[in-house]
Chain A
Amino acid sequence: DAMVIQNPRYQVTQFGKPVTLSCSQTLNHNVMYWYQQKSSQAPKLLFHYYDKDFNNEADTPDNFQSRRPNTSFCFLDIRSPGLGDAAMYLCATSRVAGEADTQYFGPGTRLTVL
């Protein structure tokens, strides 16, 4: 089945220690998104790629970076995690970036910062 895969499902890191979260997709979609979801809150878009074009949300902290080496993979790098960065990180894809396009989500990575 075509899907969006996130690894690891659970990640524990120490305060200030860089961490990388991974997302891969077999849907061959052009767009990949990263969301941050804190407990009992709405998913918040951090950034997205349309093919190789990177689009950062204005309020995404500089501490968050992303890489998309090819169509299938996208990484979220948190350079110096703080306690406030503990959250579920969701990766999503869409075929194109049309306003009516469905986004397909991975299961998420739950990040704990000690």
Chain B
Amino acid sequence: AQSVTQLGSHVSVSEGALVLLRCNYSSSVPPYLFWYVQYPNQGLQLLLKYTSAATLVKGINGFEAEFKKSETSFHLTKPSAHMSDAAEYFCAVSVSGGYQKVTFGTGTKLQVIP
């Protein structure tokens, strides 16, 4: 069975500082990995996804993530945090199984301090 673990349910960074949100996955077959963002009282929106092409994936709003098979990680980064980045971020994994079943992590709430 596939799973993801997000380290840190809450992360605080200063505006302009590096954002690093951690995600480790577990899968017996090559995974597809996603990062979604959820703003308060809204649905989830895709930030980026890894589909076995380039290991460094660039997404929207200046975010990127690197797939590291040896570390089973897919951490999300952004060089400089903006106040508008304050939201909850979900890492998710999907594997081939007849249909897309996405398993979400428990989420990391990002606080950006002015």
Contacts and interface: CB of A to CB of B under 8 A. Distances in A.
Contact of B106 (A41, A90, A110): A41
A48 B99 contact: yes
Contacts of B99: 31, 48, 50, 55, 97
Count chain B CB atoms within 10 A of each CB in A6, A45, A99, A102 and give the residue with the most. A99
A43 B44 contact: yes
Contact of A107 (B41, B105, B107): B41
Interface residues of A, number: 29
Contact of A106 (B34, B36, B43): B43
Interface residues of B, number: 27
A6 B42 CA distance: 11
A25 to B, nearest CB: 12
A40 B107 contact: yes
Contacts of B106: 40-42
B51 A108 contact: no
Given A42-B90, A42-B104, A42-B106, A100 B32 contact: yes
Contacts of A99: 32, 94-97, 100
B49 interface: yes
Given A43-B104, A99-B32, 10 more contacts: A6-B43, A40-B9, A40-B106, A42-B104, A42-B106, A97-B100, A102-B49, A103-B100, A105-B44, A108-B42
19 contacts: A41-B106, A42-B103, A43-B90, A45-B102, A48-B99, A50-B99, A90-B44, A92-B43, A92-B44, A97-B100, A99-B94, A99-B95, A99-B96, A99-B100, A100-B100, A101-B100, A103-B100, A103-B102, A107-B42
